[in-house]
Structure 1
C-alpha cells in the first residue's frame, strides 16, 4: 500500500526531487475572488515528470468543488480517499491518509488551482514583485524576468495542461461536470 501511495505523491504535489517549491511564488487566493463562478468537477489528473519523459505517467481521480465561499478537493487512489483539502480564504485544512508521503505538497496544489481557476486580475494582484501573469493565445504564463516559468494551456473544452519546468512536471487535468452541478 505504501508503495502505491508513493506513486500518488508525484500526482498530487509534483516531484520531490525537483527544486524546492520556493522556486515559484505560492498563491493562496481567496475563493471570494472567484465572484459568481462555481465549479463542481470530477477530474482525472495525469502527471509526467519532465526529467523522465519515457516513464509511465501517474494518475489520480479528484473531486473538486469551488465557489466564492470555499474550495473542497478530495483525492482518490486505489479506491480510497487519500487527501481532503478545504480552503476558505483564511485556513487551509488538510486531511491526509496516514501513508500518503510528505512530498504531496498541498501548498503547490493550491497554487496550481489558483492559476487554473481564478481570474487573471486576482492572480496578478497577488504576485510578488518581478513576477507577471500573462494571457497568451492558448492560456496563461507565469513569467519572471520575461521568461515563462509555468505555462497553463487549455487544449480542449474540458482539458487543462500545466507545464512547470521550474518544479519538473507536466500536469494534465481532464474535467467533467459532476451530476447535478
Structure 2
C-alpha cells in the first residue's frame, strides 16, 4: 500500500512530461473576397492516403468550383451524380451531402485546402495562428508548425488554379491531385 502513492506520483510525472497532442491543422475562415479574383473551374480530384497501408486511393471526383467576392461554391460529381454541394460566404458553411459520400469527407477541410492552394500568401499568413508559417520553397507552398512541415502544395502552373497541383498533407495523412481548367 505504501508504494501506491509513489506509483501514482511517477505516473503523473510521466504524463506531465509527455508532449500535448499537436492540433491537426489551423482552421481558416478567409472571406471569398480576400482571394482578389473570380474563378470558375472544372476540376478532377484524386485523393488517397500518404501511407498505402492506410487504404486505397479514392476514385476520381469531378468538381465545379466557383468563387466570387460573395461566395465560394463547389459541386462534386461522381459517376454523373452530384454527391456534394457546398457554399462558403466567409462566415457560414452550408452543404448538402449524398449518402454515397464517405463520412471522412469534411467540408471545412475542403474549403481550407482550396484557400491554402489558391489564396494570396499575405491573406493566408495573416489568418494563421501563432507558431504556424506559410512560405514558398522551390515553387511550392509549404505550411509549417514550429518549423515542422505539415502541408505542401506543388503547382505546375501560375496561377495555380490553371493547371495541375499536388497537395500533400503530412499532418492529416492524405495526398490530393488536382487538375484544373477554366469552366466553359
Shorter-chain TM-score bucket reads 0.7 to 0.9
Q: Any runs of at least 4 consecutive aligned residues in structure 1 with deviations exceeding 6 A, and if so which?
A: none
Taking the aligned partners of 2:97 and 2:22, their CA distance within structure 1 comes to 20
- 1:59 Cα deviation (Å)? 1.1
Instruction: Work out the CA distance in 2 between the residues paired with 1:138 and 1:153.
Output: 7
Map 1:88-167 onto structure 2 (within 5 A).
88-156=89-157, 158-167=163-172
- Distance apart, 1:155 and its partner CA: 2.6
1:6 aligned partner: none
Q: Is the 8 A contact 1:48 1:58 kept in 2?
A: no
Secondary structure of the corresponding residue to residue 161 of structure 1: strand
Q: Does 1:172 align with 2:172?
A: no
**How far, CA to CA, are the matches of 2:133 and 2:74 in structure 1?**
27
Q: Structure 1 unaligned runs (5+)?
A: 1-19
2-structure distance, mates of 1:56, 1:103: 13
C-alpha separation in 2, matches of 1:23 and 1:55 = 22
- Count of matched residue positions in the alignment of Structure 1 and Structure 2: 159
- Indicate the SS of the match to 1:172: strand
- What is the SS of the residue equivalent to 1:82? strand
Deviation of 1:137 (Å): 2.1
**Aligned residue number for residue 43 of structure 1:** 43
Larger radius of gyration: 2
The answer as to whether partners of 2:150 and 2:169 remain within 8 angstroms in 1 is yes
Residue by residue, what CA displacement relative to the aligned partner does 1:51-106 show, whole Å, maximum 9, x if unpaired? Answer: 10794553111000012211000000121000001011111110111342322101
Question: TM-score scaled by structure 1?
Answer: 0.81
Conserved 8 A contact 1:21-1:167: no
RMSD: 2.0
TM-score (norm 2): 0.80
Structure 2: give runs of 5+ residues left out of the alignment: 1-20
Range 83-92 or range 26-35, more displaced? 26-35
